Amino acid sequence: MIALLLRDLRLAVRAGGGFGLGLAFFLIVVVLVPFGVGPETNLLSRIAPGILWVASLLAALLSLDRIFALDYEDGSLALLATSPLPLEGAAMIKALAHWITTGLPLTLAAPALGFLLSLAPEAYAYLLISLLIGTPALSMIGTFGAALTVGLRRGGLLLSLLVLPLYVPTLIFGAEAVRRGADGLDPMGALMLMAGITAGSFGLLPFATAAVLRINLR
Amino acid sequence: MSMWEYANPKLFMSWTRPVLPWAFGLAGLFVVVGLVWGFFFTPNDFRQGSTVKIIYLHVPAALMAINAWVMMLVASLIWVVRRHHVSALAARAAAPVGLVFTLIALFTGGIWGQPMWGTYWAWDPRLTSFLILFLFYLGYIALWEAIEDPDTAADLTSVLCMVGSIFAILSRYAVLFWNQGLHQGATLSLDKEENISDVFWFPLLVSIAGFVLLFIALVLLRTRTEIRARRIRALEARARRA
């Protein structure tokens, strides 16, 4: 499992593009928003939690189709399926690798981008925590979506259509936690519920992902 | 003779042929009676005036939009567990019907909301959940369309339907957390206390029965179409090989 994780990480770093691309996308979305809504600081700081969450969600979405597509094309996915490692475990590792290459950098970069949107100072800690807890769920749900569309030639657009509705609860709780933090309310409820979604996703979705992969490899 | 034998496509076809006109006829009768009764023979509401009458379209459509998804979930489970092709095709057939019911509920809700709340759309939990349900239907239908091999498509869409159901329920309660709503609470709960008055209640029941029958009729018809389409594909494949 660790070998698989290291292999995926190495591939992501060396193939180029995948690693930094999500971050650059995140940056550009956040930069575009003030152009769209105007530069008033009050308005920006009010919508900052939502913008940061939506932008990181889209950035995570961007690299989803790479999770299985390359492995499917060169046949290593079939090898993985026949290896002694259960496919469920492989699916979870894939999600973890995706998180380390996109979710984690996004989380670390988000506070810096919070300055651009003049996020309320009290909210930074909650932004960091909520992204840290929430982005693994995004990766795991996305891995499931990527497994669904792996056999399709032009699955990218379909993948976003399938995955985005599944992202709704995570987004709601994540953005709500940051918003409550910014307003000085107690964000623990939202954080707990989001942690529940993440835990539930990692508990159940690897099985669904593995089942879907087996169907696609049939 | 168990109920599973109806999953035999041939039996299903011969059994549904005589049922179909009855289903459509009864559905039309109930919908027309329910709507005419509701629109023309009920008093105007004390506060809402005549706009209350859109309830006879709105509530049954919304009810069936959710039940169509539940039916798809059950059909998907049957396909996964027992691999009856008719079940998978019925799930596929139900999706666009559910989608249209969702749209009807959203549109009539908007038309109703404009005079009542002063807005066509509000980010109210119920409204938002329906919009999310609409997106789930879109994704489900798109996945069916995208995959060529019918068995693979049936398998993948069933898994999507199951995972989607969990997330749909999660979203339903997440939006409650996110915003308090304008939408009224349950109108038709079995707990009689908060129900609407009988004058509105009976035509509404008739209308709901009509929408249920309409859903059944449409799904049967569409399932028959799917079965025929698959037979044609099989024949074509055989002709190409010969």
Instruction: Work out the number of other CB atoms within 10 angstroms of the CB of residue B239.
Output: 8
Tokens of A193: 């519920």
Distance CA A115, CA A106 (A): 15
Give chain B's end-to-end CA distance (angstroms, integer): 37
Examine residue B60 and state whether it is found in any structural domain, yes or no. yes
Which of B163, B164, B170 has its CB closest to that of A197?
Answer: B170
Distance CA A85, CA A206 (A): 13
pLDDT of residue A176: 85
DSSP at B84? -
What is the percent of chain B with per-residue pLDDT over 90, rounded to a whole number? 27
Q: What would the pLDDT profile of A139-167 be if each residue is shown by its tens digit?
A: 999 999 999 888 787 777 888 888 998 99
Q: Which residue has the tokens 């942690």?
A: A195
Residues in chain A within 8 Å Cβ distance of B135: 161, 164-165
Residue B111: what residue type?
Answer: I
pLDDT of residue A87: 87
What does the mean pLDDT of chain B come to?
83
Size of interface A-B (CB pairs under 8 A): 76
How far, CA to CA in Å, does B202 sit from each of A98, B14, B105, B108?
A: 55, 35, 20, 20
In 3D space, the residue among A114, A108, A112, A170 whose CA is nearest the CA of residue A139 turns out to be A170
pLDDT of residue A61: 87
Instruction: Work out the number of other CB atoms within 10 angstroms of the CB of residue A149.
Output: 28
Range(s) of the domain holding residue B163: 53-180+218-241
Q: Does A169 contact B142 at a Cβ distance shorter than 8 Å?
A: no
- The dihedral formed by the CA atoms of B101, B103, B109 and B111, expressed in degrees to the nearest 10: -120
Q: Which residues, 6+ apart, have CB-to-CB distance to B205 below 8 Å?
A: B34
- Check: CB of residue B58 under 8 Å from CB of residue B91: no
Distance CA A98, CA A8 (A): 8
Residue B146: what residue type?
Answer: A
Look at chain B and count its residues: 242
Domains of chain A by residue range: 2-217
pLDDT of residue B197: 65
pLDDT of residue B18: 87
Q: How confident is the model at residue B11 (pLDDT cuts 50, 70, 90)?
A: confident
Which of A155, A162, A169 has its CB closest to that of B174?
Answer: A169
pLDDT of residue B214: 92
Distance CA B67, CA B64 (A): 5
Distance CA B143, CA A155 (A): 9
Q: Which residues, 6+ apart, have CB-to-CB distance to B18 below 8 Å?
A: none
Q: Does A165 contact B166 at a Cβ distance shorter than 8 Å?
A: no
Examine residue B205 and state whether it is found in any structural domain, yes or no. no
Angle between helices A124-148 and A41-62 (to 10 degrees): 30
Distance CA A137, CA A95 (A): 9
Tokens of A167: 């992202």
Q: What would the pLDDT profile of B30-46 be if each residue is shown by its tens digit?
A: 988 888 888 887 777 66
Helices (H), chain A: 2-15, 18-37, 41-62, 66-74, 76-82, 87-98, 104-116, 124-148, 156-182, 188-217
* pTM of the entire predicted model: 0.86
Distance CA B109, CA B131 (A): 12
Which phi and psi (to 5°) does residue B195 adopt?
Answer: -70, 160
- The dihedral formed by the CA atoms of B173, B180, A129 and A141, expressed in degrees to the nearest 10: 30
Determine the distance in angstroms separating the CA of A129 from the nearest CA of chain B, rounded to an integer: 19
Return the higher-pLDDT residue of B9 and B46: B9
Please give the residue of chain A at the shortest CA–CA distance from B125. A172
Interchain contact A165–B (C-beta under 8 A): yes
Examine residue B201 and state whether it is found in any structural domain, yes or no. no
Question: For the residues of A139-170, what is the DSSP string, one character each?
Answer: HHHHHHHHHHTTT-TT-HHHHHHHHHHHHHHH
Q: What would the pLDDT profile of B46-83 be if each residue is shown by its tens digit?
A: 666 667 778 888 888 888 999 999 999 999 999 888 88
Examine residue B190 and state whether it is found in any structural domain, yes or no. no
How many distinct structural domains can be found in chain B? Answer: 1
Return the higher-pLDDT residue of B166 and B116: B166
pLDDT of residue B116: 75
Question: For the residues of A163-202, what is the DSSP string, one character each?
Answer: HHHHHHHHHHHHHHHHHHHHTTS--HHHHHHHHHHHHHHH
- Check: CB of residue B158 under 8 Å from CB of residue B80: yes
Q: What would the pLDDT profile of B184-225 be if each residue is shown by its tens digit?
A: 655 555 455 555 666 677 888 888 899 999 999 999 999 999
In 3D space, the residue among B151, B122, B156, B123 whose CA is nearest the CA of residue B139 turns out to be B156
- Check: CB of residue B164 under 8 Å from CB of residue B140: yes
pLDDT for B2 beyond 70: no
Q: What is the CA radius of gyration of chain B?
A: 20
* Ranges of chain A with pLDDT below 70: 13-19
In 3D space, the residue among B124, B139, B40, B29 whose CA is nearest the CA of residue A144 turns out to be B139
pLDDT of residue A144: 92
Examine residue B23 and state whether it is found in any structural domain, yes or no. no
Which of A165, A189, A193 has its CB closest to that of B135?
Answer: A165
pLDDT of residue B217: 92
How far, CA to CA in Å, does A183 sit from each of A45, A119, A186, B131?
A: 11, 11, 9, 28
Please give the residue of chain A at the shortest CA–CA distance from B143. A158
Dihedral (CA of A160, A166, A172, A173) sign: negative
Q: Does A152 contact B147 at a Cβ distance shorter than 8 Å?
A: yes
